[in-house]
Structure 1
Amino acid sequence: MINPVKSIAPRYKLMTLILFFCSLIVVSSVYLTLPLLSVFEDEFQISSSKAAWAGSAFSFAFAGGGLLFGGLSDRYGRKKMMISGLCLLTATTLVIGTVDEFQWLIVLRVLQGLAASMFPPSVLAYAIEMFPINKRVTILGFISTAFLMASIVGQIYSSIVVLELSWNYVFYILGPVYFVSFILITISIPNDKTQKPVGSFFTPFRHIGGIFKKKGLPLCYIISATLFISLVGFFSTLGSYLSSSLFGLSHQEILWVRAVGIIGMFISPFDGRLVAKIGVKNVLWCGLILASIGLGLVGVWENLAFLILASIVFTAGIAMALPALISLIGTLAGELRASALSFHMFMLFIGASLAPIISIYLIDTVSHMFTFVMLAGLLLLSTVVPFYIRLEKKENTISQINQHKQTNVQNH
């Protein structure tokens, strides 16, 4: 007789791999143009501040679109939104490579941002609803790792392509990759159970107000913003810091220093085991403390090897905190989890949009070292937030349920 647990396990592994890959390449589109700004300045004969809109236009559309499409996935289904987003992302990405006027690049980056924003809130809600409790934090860990790795992978990818070919091929190559992702999601991911639509088309958007009535949930969004203010602020400051006369690294060398941070991000898939042992709030708190320590250490000693080690500690802390935060939001939100997670993504990328502004201001007015310390201080302040979030008794016992289920699986 076939053990049902063993027969189902490979399917979840395949689903995890596909969702990880698709999450990585979709969110990478946020960071594609960061290494291309100087290229756009020369190509379109524009100022650096204007060239920066190639990234900002996408980010604002991505953040706002997450609110729109997160609510719609409640009505039309998670898989349908993911498929629709990848289909539109394929088309807009290919067209971007053909433009020869900067204003059209901006317009298409906005459309690309809207298309990409259909994916993250839908994939998070899909993972929470379609994976069993004992696998839920693990899949969220993989998706969160993909979101974090995208901040580095997107920049490295576009840098390599533009050095070997031209900026157009960054989009020509990525378009077919999005199409492959569209096929993978379509044929390999089971359909979610779409509930019968209730109310009007605008009903899902009213849910956004409802999430602020959930006890403890609004406090989670404070952490959402501070996580990406610190993450993107760190990378923004790091580039300027390493290219200064103190280190004098080249653009390519800076990218490889950033890439080392990926090592710390591999802790994220193990969040599930940590949550089962010490609870989701404790994992979140430990992640915030670890990230604060790592980021604070970056601003202590002007030594490259020490800086690299501290950056690994920092990214490990972020990678520990983010999936725990997503799991906590999903638990607190209940039936409003899609709207709650879409607002989480909105706050993440609002934080990502504010981070360069904050970092540049602090660098110009004080110093790089002070900027690192201030960003660490912001994270450290957010560590008090979990103490004000209360979970219901039955939610506090999820770790015990996980342990019992894992024991049962081993016994069978």
Structure 2
Amino acid sequence: MINPAKQAAPRYNLTTLILFWCSLIVVSSLYLTIPLFPLFEDVFQISSSKAAWAGSAFSFAFAGGGLLFGGLSDRYGRKRMMISGLCLLAVSTPFIGTVHEFQWLIVLRVIQGLAASMFPPSVLAYAIEMFPTKKRVTILGFISTAFLMASIVGQIYSSTVILELSWRYVFYILGIVYFISFFLITLCIPKDIIQKPEGNFFTPLKRIGGIFKKKSLPFCYIISSTLFIALVGFFSTLGSYLSSAPFSLSHQEILWVRAAGIIGMLVSPFDGKLVARFGVKNVLCCGLILAGIGLGLVGAWENLAFLILASIVFAAGIAMALPALLSLIGTLAGELRASALSFHMFMLFIGASLGPIVSVYLTGIKGHVFTFEVLAGLLLLSTIVPFFIRLEKKETAATPIHPPNQTNVEHH
């Protein structure tokens, strides 16, 4: 007789790969318009500040939608919400490439942002609930890596497409990718158990207030916003820093310097082993310290090789801290896990929205190096926060993807 546990092992690997891929392409939509802003100015004859709304419209819809859809996944199921988000993305994304008026592009970016916001809180809750404890931080590491890599991959993708084709094909091609990914999620990952909580359609929104009654949980959200203020603030500052003397790099060269950060982000999938050995709070603190040191060193020496190395250290610290933070939030939230993770995503992208504003303000005061140092100080200061977080009981085992008494898993 074949041991069901041995049958289950390959399914974890396949599910991890699919969730990583889908997380990467969904969140990449947030960043893919950054290289397109100059094109939008020419095509639609608009100002640079108005062109930036192609990104902001998505960001606000993405952050706000996550609050709603994360809680709704309690009622309708994690997999169902992921499928719905990918389906809507597959339909709406190609239409962006057909518009001839900028206001319609903004409307479709809002719809795209709402569709994308269905995915992150649902995939995080799915990973925590469907993977056993020993695999949980690892899958969260892969998903976190996808979220982080999306900030670079989205820009590289759109920059590459516009070099060979027109900007419209950025959305045509991505629509096809979403369509294929919709079938991957539908057919290849196991169905989760729908909780069917009591209440009406608006109950999930009301439950968000409950997360602030959980001991220690609100402290986690300070770190959530800090991480992405530093991350997006760094990328926003890096562009103008490298384009000025003594570096004077081209747009394409700056993009490849940013891409080097992917090397540091590859630490994230191994976070599970670090947490198992040293504890989730210790790994979180070490990640914040490493990120702070790396960011602080970025402007310490005007040498490109040294700057790239420091940026890799910074990215590695962020990649270490984020999955540990996700695991900590999931543990502290208990039955409010989906709402707690939704609010975490909301705070992340509030931080992402504040990052450029902080960057422009600080750079205007005392320059690029000062901005790097302040952002680094913010990360190092946030290492105090975990000391106020108490873990009162051990994390319980999650429901496995394949329950031991079940040899066949429903996929539809």
What TM-score range do you get, normalising by the shorter chain? Answer: over 0.9
In the alignment, which residue of structure 2 is the partner of 1:11? Answer: 11
Q: Are residues 1:211 and 2:206 paired? A: no
* 102-111 or 3-12, which deviates more: 3-12
Q: Distance in 1 between matches of 2:202 and 2:48?
A: 40
In the alignment, which residue of structure 2 is the partner of 1:371? Answer: 371
Kindly, what percent of the aligned residue pairs are identical?
82
> Contact 1:121/1:341 (CA < 8 Å) preserved in 2?
yes
Q: Which amino acid is 1:107 matched to?
A: V
Q: Which amino acid is 2:96 matched to?
A: I
For 1:318-375, what per-residue CA distance to the aligned partner results, in whole angstroms no more than 9, with x for missing partners? Answer: 0000000000000000000000000000000000001001101111221000000000
How far apart are residue 197 of structure 1 and its match? Answer: 3.6
Q: Which amino acid is 1:380 matched to?
A: L
In the alignment, which residue of structure 2 is the partner of 1:111? Answer: 111
Q: Distance in 2 between matches of 1:397 and 1:345?
A: 24
For 1:241-272, what per-residue CA distance to the aligned partner results, in whole angstroms no more than 9, with x for missing partners? Answer: 11112211110111100001000000000011
How far apart are residue 4 of structure 1 and its match? Answer: 2.9
* Contiguous gaps of at least 5 residues in structure 2: 399-412
Q: Which amino acid is 1:182 matched to?
A: F
For 1:103-153, what per-residue CA distance to the aligned partner results, in whole angstroms no more than 9, with x for missing partners? Answer: 111111011000000000000000000111111000000000000000000
In the alignment, which residue of structure 1 is the partner of 2:360? Answer: 360
In the alignment, which residue of structure 2 is the partner of 1:404? Answer: none
Q: Which amino acid is 2:344 matched to?
A: H
In the alignment, which residue of structure 1 is the partner of 2:401? Answer: none
In the alignment, which residue of structure 2 is the partner of 1:32? Answer: 32
> Contact 1:76/1:197 (CA < 8 Å) preserved in 2?
no
In the alignment, which residue of structure 2 is the partner of 1:389? Answer: 389
> Contact 2:133/2:396 (CA < 8 Å) preserved in 1?
no
For residues 103-252 of structure 1, what are the structure 2 equivalents within 5 Å?
103-252=103-252
In the alignment, which residue of structure 2 is the partner of 1:403? Answer: none
SS in 2 for 1:333: helix
Q: Distance in 2 between matches of 1:137 and 1:285?
A: 16
In the alignment, which residue of structure 2 is the partner of 1:67? Answer: 67
In the alignment, which residue of structure 2 is the partner of 1:80? Answer: 80
> Contact 1:284/1:320 (CA < 8 Å) preserved in 2?
yes
Q: Distance in 1 between matches of 2:123 and 2:261?
A: 24
Q: Which amino acid is 2:21 matched to?
A: F
Q: Distance in 1 between matches of 2:170 and 2:147?
A: 19
Q: Distance in 1 between matches of 2:23 and 2:371?
A: 30
SS in 1 for 2:285: helix
> Contact 2:57/2:110 (CA < 8 Å) preserved in 1?
yes
Q: Distance in 2 between matches of 1:254 and 1:231?
A: 16
> Contact 2:22/2:181 (CA < 8 Å) preserved in 1?
yes
SS in 1 for 2:61: helix
Q: Distance in 2 between matches of 1:280 and 1:323?
A: 9
How far apart are residue 62 of structure 1 and its match? Answer: 0.3
For 1:286-309, what per-residue CA distance to the aligned partner results, in whole angstroms no more than 9, with x for missing partners? Answer: 000000000000021111110000
Q: Which amino acid is 2:115 matched to?
A: A
Q: Are residues 1:327 and 2:327 paired? A: yes
Q: Distance in 1 between matches of 2:243 and 2:319?
A: 26
How far apart are residue 3 of structure 1 and its match? Answer: 3.2
In the alignment, which residue of structure 2 is the partner of 1:22? Answer: 22
* Contiguous gaps of at least 5 residues in structure 1: 399-412
Q: Distance in 2 between matches of 1:267 and 1:394?
A: 25
How far apart are residue 396 of structure 1 and its match? Answer: 10
Q: Are residues 1:338 and 2:338 paired? A: yes
Q: Which amino acid is 1:165 matched to?
A: L
Q: Distance in 2 between matches of 1:73 and 1:126?
A: 9
How far apart are residue 395 of structure 1 and its match? Answer: 3.7
| CA RMSD after TM alignment | 1.2
SS in 1 for 2:394: helix
> Contact 2:83/2:186 (CA < 8 Å) preserved in 1?
yes
Q: Which amino acid is 2:80 matched to?
A: K
In the alignment, which residue of structure 2 is the partner of 1:98? Answer: 98
Q: Distance in 2 between matches of 1:5 and 1:266?
A: 28
Q: Which amino acid is 2:28 matched to?
A: S
Q: Distance in 1 between matches of 2:397 and 2:386?
A: 17
In the alignment, which residue of structure 1 is the partner of 2:314? Answer: 314
Q: Distance in 1 between matches of 2:396 and 2:283?
A: 13
SS in 1 for 2:234: helix
How far apart are residue 199 of structure 1 and its match? Answer: 1.4
Q: Distance in 1 between matches of 2:393 and 2:311?
A: 37
Q: Distance in 1 between matches of 2:92 and 2:170?
A: 13
Task: Report the TM-score when normalising by structure 1.
Answer: 0.95
Q: Distance in 2 between matches of 1:357 and 1:37?
A: 17
Q: Which amino acid is 1:343 matched to?
A: F
How far apart are residue 391 of structure 1 and its match? Answer: 0.2
Q: Which amino acid is 2:369 matched to?
A: M
For 1:154-209, what per-residue CA distance to the aligned partner results, in whole angstroms no more than 9, with x for missing partners? Answer: 00000000111111000000001001110000001111100234111111111100
> Contact 1:285/1:321 (CA < 8 Å) preserved in 2?
yes
How far apart are residue 317 of structure 1 and its match? Answer: 0.2
Q: Which amino acid is 1:183 matched to?
A: F
> Contact 2:132/2:397 (CA < 8 Å) preserved in 1?
no
Alignment length (residue pairs): 398
> Contact 1:61/1:110 (CA < 8 Å) preserved in 2?
yes
Q: Which amino acid is 1:112 matched to?
A: Q
